[in-house]
A and B are shown apart, each in its own frame.
Chain A
């Protein structure tokens, strides 16, 4: 098998696997929602609706059809990319998700970047000074930081940095007075595209605190994983040989240790990227930001089936795609991954 064939096979398997995962997710979510108690038509009709009005809504939403038929119609719409109409807003579910997803995406990307920036240097330093009271203290502090409840951390930092010492804004995405045309829905990016650097800086300030709150627990986990891996790589023969050959310490870390040690970190980033979309809801609530998490929560309480399905599928797709990206990156970095694929 040629390398090209091997690569194609690798990608094809991953893509098919992703599609299968999405189909399974869509099916599980659909039937789970049907099993949860509550009448969607009743909620959609309103608190003071009469019995006749509820029946009318049930008929209009197709909820009086057999569940199997509803499922088939649902899959048929998904194939064409139609996520349906929200029973609570009567707007397109797809449009509602597009409205809020960029904000969460921006938050998650910055959060992951902050996690890496905090974790990797600290892990490298800690691995190089792996003994002594200083290192023990560092590790304890990181474990504590990793265990801090996100909601509590958000409120504490907000109280300190937005109320007592007014350094950063308490909530929102952009200060009043900035008129930035909405292009992508991500405030920083839209401000840059509009050629408004001050607005972009304002958006960064609004983003920093919520991203930091999301990043701290993740950084703790990244630190421990990276530190362990660096310690392991430091004992490898090629590193020992390089040290014996007099390679400077900094170069040794950058060129011979870190590239080998970041493999689990890359996998962790891929996993984190997806899960942070769900974890972001607490942070979005504290800092008054619209996001996919709050859309999903509202949809659940309203028993807005299509919105829940659409939101879960989109988050699921993000998780699947980020896993796919991690797999591809690993394959590019490590020829043994592709070789194993070709050998199957």
Chain B
């Protein structure tokens, strides 16, 4: 090699090496907080929460999307909430149904204020409900029976329903109350949707500082009626889609709470971090089209339920983080009948199909390949069925397309694998949305059983909680006997977190972590 070129190369390499060392040195310095004294205190009083997937808007009308609710539950408050499965007051200090369950009288607490200092009044409640009804999208699906409001005075409002709806009260735990004046002022031509995309009109424990490129920075609201100084002063929502990246961020100290995989536990523990399961849980379930197609035959449904390796799937796919299903609704809910845990019985499955003249048949199941664990479960079922001579063809489907298919019983997939959770901790909401024949756009099994319908309708008009509970349990027994669905397991997610963070056992209304209740410095 010519001497000149050798020198040039050596020089270049030396420069590159020096640059790398400089990079490393400066990185070690700058990765810590930029300020000196008090920096560790400010870092402890800050909590960075890593969330997955896009937060499309901060408009509470769209808290039907989990990601939107993840942020909004901290910015806004609802009339009531849930603690350990029981309704508790929030903005409402009291709430009662009318005898015929067609209206709810709400009494507001006097000390609740919005982030701009104005009090939360009955007019704000009325405006909120009317706005969601006008928009007709998103969370309004949970209060479909809402008709109108009567503002009695600043702290009293009556919410009128179009029909008896005992689930309406529980749905109030998902309705974020808006600052009517603020939203009206900025309503524009789209009822404030564009403005609320990245603005805050709430009264929740945190107020929005900035919303930029998927990162939402919020500050603890000093005048919150349930102020707790153990809540972090600053709560930051940072988007990180990959669990392995979250684990790396946790270890680097740039994220404080986030979902991780089981294989990251040891590495996190070695760094003094902790890993806990989220409260509640979502249910992984297979729905059958009970009125059209191959699964309309009860023998096919029962055979599939007997073919799956439940414990093997829970252990290998979910690392044991969950419980095997024993009924149509997640095991984390109450008001459930005492049904046997799902079990594999390949001989029974084979016999059922043979008796029905369907030995060696071919079936098709739809699933969402974007969820890796669901794809694995689908493959496992395929393998289980192969053992009894049944061919299961797996066809991917996008969720948007699946939603479209629910509009017509003939287009609902014969067999569909997905995960779901209750909108709030009431068994009735899942049973009604999924198995009531009148729920034409959400009845995933095209299921219609007059006895079940009667029980659901009776329960939804029943003001007494215990009586409703019994009716929902009876309905679930019938649904299970019909094999309308094939619940697999209720799963929990693992959250890696800084050791001083508490409140990870408090559940949000739609399940999962109640981020607003996280505390620091424990």
Contact = CB atoms under 8 A, between A and B. Distances in A.
B236 interface: yes
25 contacts: A37-B404, A42-B441, A46-B141, A49-B140, A50-B144, A52-B136, A53-B140, A85-B190, A88-B62, A90-B193, A91-B194, A103-B213, A125-B9, A155-B242, A158-B245, A166-B31, A170-B249, A172-B254, A176-B254, A177-B35, A249-B2, A285-B241, A288-B240, A288-B249, A294-B241
Contacts of A321: none
Contact of A250 (B5, B214, B407): B5
Nearest to A52: B136
Interface in B382-421: 398-401, 403-404, 407
B245 A288 contact: yes
B225 to A, nearest CB: 29
A43 B212 contact: no
Contact of A89 (B5, B57, B214): B57
Interface stretch (A6-14, A75-83, A197-205, A331-339): A197-205
Contact of B1 (A99, A129, A176): A129
Contacts of A170: 245, 248-249, 252, 254
B398 A45 contact: no
A288 B241 contact: yes
Contacts of A248: 4
Interface in B16-68: 23-24, 26-28, 30-31, 33-35, 46, 48, 50, 53-54, 56-57, 59, 62, 64
Contacts of B34: 175, 177-178, 198
A48 B57 contact: no
Nearest to B4: A250
Interface residues of A, number: 71
Given A38-B400, A46-B64, A169-B31, A249 B213 contact: no
Contact of B141 (A49, A125, A287, A301): A49
A218 B177 CA distance: 51
Nearest to B271: A163
Interface residues of B, number: 73
B201 interface: no
A192 to B, nearest CB: 15
Interface in B223-281: 236, 238-242, 244-245, 247-249, 251-252, 254-255, 267
Contacts, number: 206
B137 A172 contact: no
A171 interface: yes
Q: Most chain-B CB neighbours within 10 Å: which of A92, A169, A185?
A: A169
Contacts of B53: 298
A110 interface: no
Contacts of B185: none
Contacts of A249: 2, 4-5
